[in-house]
Amino acid sequence: MAPYRRDVTRVPVSRSVSRGNDEKDADHPNIPSRRPRLSQLAIIEYPDPRLKRVARPVTAFDERLRRLVADMAETMYSAPGVGLAATQVDVHERIIVIDVSETKDALHVFINPELLWASEEFALCEEGCLSVPGVYDMVRRPSRVRVRSMDPHGRPFELDCEGTLAVCVQHEMDHLEGRVFVEYLSPLKQTRIRTRMRKRHARQA
């Protein structure tokens, strides 16, 4: 499944403000005044208990889902991050967005993803999390995975992942199971991270 290429088409402003225009323009999604505005969603932070919730499968492949996916992508790009699970924005449905490209124009959207296969070979990679800002540590995971999923229109696809994409997809699928990457770290590190996060939240209060 090819990732969604981000649409960077710019329509001249004069087209969007032209008077007495035909109906064709009124429906054109690239005309700024007609394009629905994207929202940045609030990301919940560790150790918020809502990060422990197990997400339920998506059953309605409708405009509301596609709008949520667009808002999640906007939230991920502006954070900035390379992935985001719906759990992190307090929506407990099985939805993930990922873009590990340098150019930030290769969005992967996974609805109801399932792990079909994981390699016996493992890799140690540094991970971060938008729900645990400022914390990075090494996590060991299968180096390659195959995922079965659906796109936002309910069409099934399978994707072989390796490198950063494999790390990211496993990290995000953990979020859907209510797991945060710090749970792979030692109890001492987890305690230190919780203390650090609680201090951060007290400062912000």
Q: Which stretch binds Zn ion (CB under 5 A): 7-15, 57-65, 126-134, 194-202?
A: 126-134
Interface with ligand K1U, residue 128, by CB under 6 A: yes
Which contiguous run of DSSP H or E holds residue 188?
helix 187-204
List, as one string, the DSSP characters of the chain.
-PPEEP------HHHHH-TT--HHHHT-TTSTTTSPPP-PPPPP-TT-GGGGPPPBPP---SHHHHHHHHHHHHHHHHTT-SEEEGGGGT--BSEEEE---SSS-EEEEEEEEEEEEE-S-EEEEEE--TTSTT--EEEEEESEEEEEEE-TTS-EEEEEEEHHHHHHHHHHHHHHTT--GGGGS-HHHHHHHHHHHHHHHHHH-
Contact letters for ligand K1U, residues 170-189 (x by CB under 6 A): -xx-----------------
Interface with ligand K1U, residue 129, by CB under 6 A: yes
183 is catalytic: no
Interface with ligand K1U, residue 168, by CB under 6 A: yes
Q: Which stretch binds Zn ion (CB under 5 A): 17-25, 124-132, 154-162, 197-205?
A: 124-132
Shortest Å, Cβ 27 to ligand K1U: 34
Instruction: Please state, in angstroms and rounded to a whole number, the distance separating the CA atoms of residues 48 and 92.
Output: 14
In DSSP terms, 99 is beta-bridged to: none
Among the listed residues 69, 112, 127, 159, the single contact to ligand K1U using CB under 6 A: 127
CB nearer ligand K1U, residue 13 or residue 42? 42
Q: Quick one: tokens of 7?
A: 């649409």
**Residue 128 touches which of ligand K1U, Zn ion, none (CB < 5 to 8 A by kind)?**
ligand K1U
Q: Please name the residue that has the structure tokens 């700024």.
A: 32
Shortest Å, Cβ 175 to ligand K1U: 6
Catalytic residue among 45, 93, 127, 172: 172
Interface with Zn ion, residue 129, by CB under 5 A: yes
**Residue 29 touches which of ligand K1U, Zn ion, none (CB < 5 to 8 A by kind)?**
none
Shortest Å, Cβ 42 to Zn ion: 15
CB nearer ligand K1U, residue 80 or residue 156? 80
Active-site residues, by number, are 172
